[in-house]
Structure 1
Amino acid sequence: MSERTARRAAPEPAAAVVVGGGLAGTTAALTLADAGVRVTLVEGRPRLGGLAFSFQRDTPAGELTVDNGQHVFLRCCTAYQWFLDRIAAQDLVTLQDRLDVPVLDARRARLGRLRRASLPVPLHLAASLAGYPHLSLTERAKVGRAAMALRGLDLDDPTLDDTDFGSWLRDRGQSPRTVQALWDLVGVATLNATAEQSSLALAAMVFKTGLLSHPGAADIGWANAPLGDLHHGRARAALDAAGVRTVLRGRVSALRPGPDGGWQVDVATGPGRDERLTAGSVVLAVPQREAHGLLPDGALRDPDALLRIGTAPILNIHVVYDRTVTRQPFFAALDSPVQWVFDRSGTSGMTGSPGTEHWQYLALSQSAAHDDIDRPVSELRDRYLPALERLLPAARGATVRDFFVTRERTATFAPTPGVGRLRPQARTQAPGLYLAGAWTATGWPATMEGAVRSGLRAAREALTELGRPAPDGELTAA
């Protein structure tokens, strides 16, 4: 980009530029703007929301609004719930009054439930565990001892990051069946990895915070509207109201120190349309490899550590039946390739369409899907439709009206042992430059909660360096 073009295209300098419009970037932009900072948010896609988004699909049931994947949160996800409040989207989510997860065993045709009682931790889960039909009496007793050992771990102990969760569970008497039917049932969905592939530090954080901190911590929440309505529609309205300038379809091609201090951010918004933004603060809220490509020399002591943070895939399978095949809003499965199934009929806009009043749209969320992520759709159909029929007898006589898949090959960072030392802090060694994203050092796995917390931390660091007071409230969540 020529200097002449840059001068012609440059808008009024912004006090801060946020690169990336996912949950982390949107959070950082809102928090900075709420503190009185002029903010420009640049996002390469034509929408906000990162990997938690929606799209339209024409199907025999009409045009459906499809989430790229099922996303849930827990009551303990305080930062994400702050985010929902901030974008005025609490009316678009549902949160269980009390944890209740149906668990179907395909081999034994048994239904069990994981649910809590109104008792203190750990008694809140005792009755559910005592009656859990997918484990033997001996296995259930050993679960309690392992849970107490987890509760006693110090999450600040750096040695936890070097141990895999699977080995730790085996050392505490957990059988392969117990790992499959309980620990991985929860862990794979939250960590996007099996116990064998997971850092003990991150697994302990998930189980201590979600199941062993407060009786209601693990109550499950989910969007009762398309994710795009939340993370793009409501989020964009909140950004506009806060005075944030949002640039969609903007590709940041270069980030460099300005001649008079601060930063210059070169943004391409189309053929021959370039801008050079100037700012005192820049937040890079993009995936780790993209951040690595934009970091100036000296910003991190070991920038290549970002490239050593692995990624893990999530596969989502979408099935439309010509009748209702389950009455559960969601359930988990055992002894089946199916992991978690969600009824998306209402949120997709299908319910009420002429001729589809009794049709049902199910979304299967398949985490840690390394073996399936690149299978052709025909193979996935042959694999998963019979698996659903084994779980749901009503599906055996139903006609499949549509079957399609969405794939996120790099959905999350891989929570492998040792990843903790690779995740960078929000503040870099370059004054005025900060990092945000679920892959940064939040202490959380790659969740919506982790993404929001990272945006809050990056904004807090930027406000501190700018000498501006951080707003109360939202920063306490991180």
Structure 2
Amino acid sequence: MTGRVVVVGGGLAGLTAACDLADAGFRVTLLESRSRLGGATFSFRRDGLVVDNGQHVLLRCCTEYRALLERLGTTEGIDLQDRFRMPVLLADGRLTGLGRTSAPAPLHLVPGLARYGALSPADRMRVVRAAAALRLLDPDDPALDEQSFGDWLTRHGQNSATLSALWNLISVAALNCDAHEASLALAVTVFRTALLDRADGADIGVPRWPLEDLHVRPAEKYLIARGAEIRLRSAVRAVERGRSGFTVRLDDENLPADAVVVAAPPDAAARMCPDAAGVSAARLSGLGAAPIVNVHAVFERPVTDLPFAATVGSPAQWIFDRTEVAGLTEGQYLAVSLSAARTWLDAPAPVLREVFLAELGRLLPAAAATPCTQFFVTRERRATFRQAPGTGRLRPRPETRLPGLVLAGSWTATGWPDTMEGAVRSGHRAADLVRDRARAGGGAG
């Protein structure tokens, strides 16, 4: 195949689609409006540190993202657990956690839950009963998307203790919203895929390399080696349908294309697609946005030997040791990841410093006695779409009304939450549509 395909957007979805299409023999041009690739997953340098814009993790069930890393030759950059273990710091500083055994699902979680110190024995039994009921739900049932996960949990006997110490511990991190604000369908996808249907699904993988070394630069190198053209600072103003394909309009140039993959954020995708494509700006605006804030603190000396930990009864949510991945040779670099972070989004850095250094000192006593040598904050105002009830019907399928013009992005109808895995899956699907059309003789071939 030798057709000309323009991929608009250099995030994970666009990079994945471009790699697939380049492998299939298409002449690929990747356009990115910013001065860097990576989209919502990128790295930057600050005061001698390599910093990721946010703490991204994967699970063993994220099969397509893991396959992409294998394709790019970077699987060594992930430290993937051989068995799910999630350390949890309680409000009083005690350490407990969740884990699994080698038993088949869902029995693999029972011993770990029985020892989970964040819940009373009675509340652990509440969780078991709700998990059994959750396992019977079908995430593809459209009726589930109209319901709140939190409301469902309340109807199934859950209380504030089980919500804060277990259900929200996972749903806030995975869905970037509180259980009461989350779509039941997406929550079922998360809990069934990761925890309830497979014994090893929730094994946690944490990057040992910066995101730019894990998938951004390797994907760029992969594409260039296959003849693709990558153009940064190339904002697309419009995609127009012509007699024999498409015209992609930039500020000072028009590019012809047999097919176009629009892997931009939803608002930008709606603006650039022609009306005939049926990409509704009003519909996509309903997806909304949810923020993530990351607090970064470098200590003069190591203050914990935990690679990561969740927290209960603390605003800190999740703490990650970023020392090695950032290239720090002395001291310790911790990142506090705050999902569903509307409370903290516009808080001044000095306020965040006061709150979260105190929290780190409370949870990790050594931090209270160790000077903090660097402190800064990163904010992603539109980290994900708002994964609330009703958003399932707003997420568009990758096909548009114009054959050859397809959408990609974790916000499209992937069946997954807004995650790296969802982005990769969307990129594959978009490339498949272009390739199938070419094989059928409909262009781009």
Give the TM-score range, shorter chain: over 0.9
Aligned equivalents of 2:18, 2:374: Cα separation in 1:
39
2:299 matches 1:321: yes
The alpha carbon displacement at 1:336 in A equals 0.7
Aligned equivalents of 1:230, 1:105: Cα separation in 2:
32
Return the match for 1:263 from 223, 227, 246: 246
Task: Output the amino acid matched with 1:234.
Answer: P
Aligned equivalents of 2:89, 2:336: Cα separation in 1:
14
Matches within 5 A, 1:98-177: 98-106=83-91, 108-177=92-161
Matches within 5 A, 1:25-64: 25-58=14-47, 63-64=48-49
Deviates more, 1:222-231 or 1:192-201: 222-231
Deviates more, 1:299-308 or 1:437-446: 299-308
Q: Is the 8 A contact 1:281 1:432 kept in 2?
A: yes
Deviates more, 1:82-91 or 1:214-223: 82-91
Give 2:60's aligned residue.
75
Aligned equivalents of 1:225, 1:27: Cα separation in 2:
19
Give 2:346's aligned residue.
374
2:222 matches 1:222: no
Consecutive unaligned residues of structure 1, counting only runs of 5 or more, are 1-12, 269-273, 470-478
Q: Is the 8 A contact 1:35 1:468 kept in 2?
A: no
Give 1:4's aligned residue.
none
Aligned equivalents of 2:131, 2:8: Cα separation in 1:
41
Q: Is the 8 A contact 1:48 1:231 kept in 2?
A: no
The alpha carbon displacement at 1:398 in A equals 0.5
Return the match for 1:286 from 264, 271, 277: 264
Q: Is the 8 A contact 2:267 2:281 kept in 1?
A: no
Q: Is the 8 A contact 1:18 1:42 kept in 2?
A: yes
Aligned residue pairs, count: 440
TM-score computed with the length of structure 1 as normaliser: 0.90
Q: Is the 8 A contact 2:323 2:334 kept in 1?
A: yes
Give 2:393's aligned residue.
421
Q: Is the 8 A contact 1:135 1:177 kept in 2?
A: yes
SS in structure 2 of the partner of residue 168 of structure 1: helix
Give 2:276's aligned residue.
298
Aligned equivalents of 1:132, 1:301: Cα separation in 2:
47
Q: Is the 8 A contact 1:146 1:169 kept in 2?
A: yes
The superposition leaves residues 210-247 of structure 1 with CA deviations (integer Å, 9 ceiling, x where unpaired) of 00121110001121111111232111111112221111
Aligned equivalents of 2:281, 2:293: Cα separation in 1:
30
Q: Is the 8 A contact 2:271 2:281 kept in 1?
A: no
Give 2:230's aligned residue.
246
TM-score computed with the length of structure 2 as normaliser: 0.97
Q: Is the 8 A contact 2:270 2:280 kept in 1?
A: no
Aligned equivalents of 2:374, 2:62: Cα separation in 1:
34
2:375 matches 1:412: no
The alpha carbon displacement at 1:14 in A equals 6.0
SS in structure 2 of the partner of residue 419 of structure 1: coil
The alpha carbon displacement at 1:298 in A equals 2.1
The alpha carbon displacement at 1:253 in A equals 1.6
SS in structure 1 of the partner of residue 239 of structure 2: strand
Aligned equivalents of 2:262, 2:203: Cα separation in 1:
32
Give 1:196's aligned residue.
180
Q: Is the 8 A contact 1:40 1:245 kept in 2?
A: yes
Aligned equivalents of 2:123, 2:82: Cα separation in 1:
29
Aligned equivalents of 1:29, 1:78: Cα separation in 2:
19
Runs of 4 or more above 4 Å deviation = none
The superposition leaves residues 148-179 of structure 1 with CA deviations (integer Å, 9 ceiling, x where unpaired) of 11110012211000000000000000111101
Q: Is the 8 A contact 2:19 2:219 kept in 1?
A: no
Return the match for 2:77 from 86, 92, 96: 92
Give 2:362's aligned residue.
390
Task: Output the amino acid matched with 1:232.
Answer: V
Matches within 5 A, 1:306-345: 306-345=284-323
Task: Output the amino acid matched with 1:82.
Answer: A
Consecutive unaligned residues of structure 2, counting only runs of 5 or more, are none
The alpha carbon displacement at 1:303 in A equals 4.1
The alpha carbon displacement at 1:275 in A equals 2.5
Aligned equivalents of 2:266, 2:90: Cα separation in 1:
38
The alpha carbon displacement at 1:109 in A equals 2.8
Give 1:473's aligned residue.
none
